[in-house]
Structure 1
Amino acid sequence: MVTVDKMAKISILGCGWLGFPLAKALLKKGFSVNGSTTTSEKISVLENAGVRPFLINVTLSDLEASGEGSLDSKSVPDIIETFLQESSTLIIDIPPKLRGPNKESFVGKIELLIPFIEKSFVENVIFVSSTSVYGEQNEIVTEESPLNPDTESGKQLVAAEQRLQSNTNFKTTVLRFAGLIGEDRHPVKFLAGRENLDNPEASINLIHQEDCIGIILKIIQNDSWNETFNAVTPFHPSRSTYYGQKAADLNLVLPKFNHENTSVGKTISSDKIETILNYTFTKPNL
């Protein structure tokens, strides 16, 4: 069991929708937190929350970074080294972002980061991945299922997972999240009022932000490293049933599904999280 004394400082690369509330949860547990953001406006927000802020933008051309206060004058390698300084654990939560004119190789970004991790005191890495690495086969999916991504982001996530987990200088636990929802984020808002939607009988695979954070805290608490976990709430009604009810609950226009074609979609098992981590979901019915 890991104690706060042993791992008093944690670095979070990517304090966005998930990373920022995660940082605040870690602070409440007694950890000190270094957190990165790609926008200068977020620096004061992080600092006011008690997070030591770093402005870091990982690009293939360079690792563009600046830090708090006097760190601005330091070189890029110095900033990254300071960001990782005295941290035993690094949480990588940056999205692939493979669309648009400025798209870059996500695997390349991870490869740029690895030498910095190797030179640091980081012993453990949590890599936030996605269940998109499995593709859309019609079956129950576990962590032992073959990887068959059908999107470019899924393919690059697989490669990034492999780069990190094959490195023997640190231990990497991969956390494959299903669709992310929260108080301010829900796919029904995008689906409301739409018509002729596919796969009405396919199972939903979602997870609430609170459980995302709870699972990460549990991994750290249990010292559960060199593992791979599917992070999805064990609640799998059909898309048509779930989104129809959720739209009604939120007074949104109901989405309409096409029931003529055969539905396609996987059901992701979270049994390993419940058994190995002994984790109980706080939002079981979403």
Structure 2
Amino acid sequence: MKQISILGCGWLGLPLAKALLQKDFKIKGSTTSAEKLTVLAAADITPYLVALESEQAPENISAFFEGSETLIIAIPPKLRGKNKDYSDANQNSFVKKIENLLPFLEQSSIQQLLFVSSTAVYGEANATVDENTAPIPVTESGKQLLAIEQLLLANKKFKTTILRFGGLIGADRQPARFLAGKENVANPDAPINLIHQDDCIAIILQIIATANWGDTFNAVTPYHPTRAEYYTQKAIAYNLVPPTFEIEKPSVGKTILSDKLIKKLDYTFLIPQL
């Protein structure tokens, strides 16, 4: 039975771990919460308390990697609010935290790595975007995600696949709730670029099943109504107050294509209309 280590058993990582268990993989899963260790153990996931730091790698990281052929990194950079980071030397630097893992990864049994990134690496391009589009991130999280992508892809000790997700939604995560009742929301004519949690998990399962390592994929549902259309419709569907939009300024927004993923993975989106 093959083993996979999932660094970050949160909103995406935990249900992903459960889906992989159903495929007869053994799973090691990490959390930063001591209280969550029992949750992982109850799900038959071997639990590890792993808190990444920019100064040094966690003491138990070698044990977390041991025996696994595949590592999935599914942790958000946490660069908002009090954790906002504007320097690689800063104690909150996501780049430094991942960089500290490399010596241990190189000495481990890990042969392939999947890094969950974001379409934020493309910045504010007012165009149609695919994997051949040069990333020009403008946010700090986008900049650090791109730096990590480059760091991992350059390492020849293991094969890395980059998975750039659009905006994440799920049964407990509907972005229309965040915009309900807001006024003068920007970019009403910009297209949405979202993906459902079920598709996130199914795509990762397909990458593992087909051994598509050493590649980069956009993962966005090919459904791109305008922001005004989508969020108004969803607000009404959830009995919320629809937002109002800023219509005087020109809308700026990119359309992100997932054609490469659909073709190369022979993938059909489970929830095409979101």
| TM-score of the aligned structures, taking structure 2 as reference length | 0.96
For 1:37, the equivalent position in structure 2 comes to: 31
Deviation string, structure 1 residues 74-126 (Cα, Å, up to 9, x no partner): xx1xx211111110000001111123445511110110011111110100000
Q: Which amino acid aligns with 1:39?
A: S
**Would you say the 8 A contact 1:56–1:63 is kept in 2?**
no
| Cα distance between partner residues in 2 of 1:100 and 1:246 | 27
Correspondence list, 1:43-122, <5 A: 43-64=37-58, 76=59, 79-101=60-82, 103=85, 104-122=92-110
Please report the RMSD computed on the Cα atoms of aligned residues, expressed in angstroms: 1.0
Q: Secondary structure at the match of 1:30?
A: coil
Describe the SS at the equivalent of 1:58.
coil
C-alpha contact 2:27 2:45 (8 A) present in aligned 1? yes
Identity %: 58
**1:230 and 2:218 correspond:** yes
Q: CA contact under 8 A between 2:55 and 2:97: conserved in structure 1?
A: no
- Measured against aligned partners, the alpha-carbon deviations of 1:150-178 in whole angstroms (never above 9, x if no partner) come to 10110111100000000000000000000
Output one character per residue of 1:175-228: Cα deviation in whole Å (capped at 9) or x when no partner: 000000000001111100001111000000000000000000000000000000
Corresponding residue SS for 1:147: coil
CA contact 1:27–1:33 (8 Å) conserved in 2? yes
- State how many pairs are aligned: 267
Mapped partners of 2:252, 2:195: distance in 1: 20
Out of 207, 227, 235, which is 1:247 matched to?
235
2:271 to 253, 259, 283: 283
- TM-score of the aligned structures, taking structure 1 as reference length: 0.92
Which structure 2 residue ranges, 5 or more long, are not aligned? 86-91
Within the candidate set 147, 161, 167, 2:135 is matched to 147
Pair 1:189-2:198 in alignment: no
Range moving further from structure 2, 101-110 or 143-152: 101-110
Distance in 1 of aligned mates of 2:198 and 2:36: 22
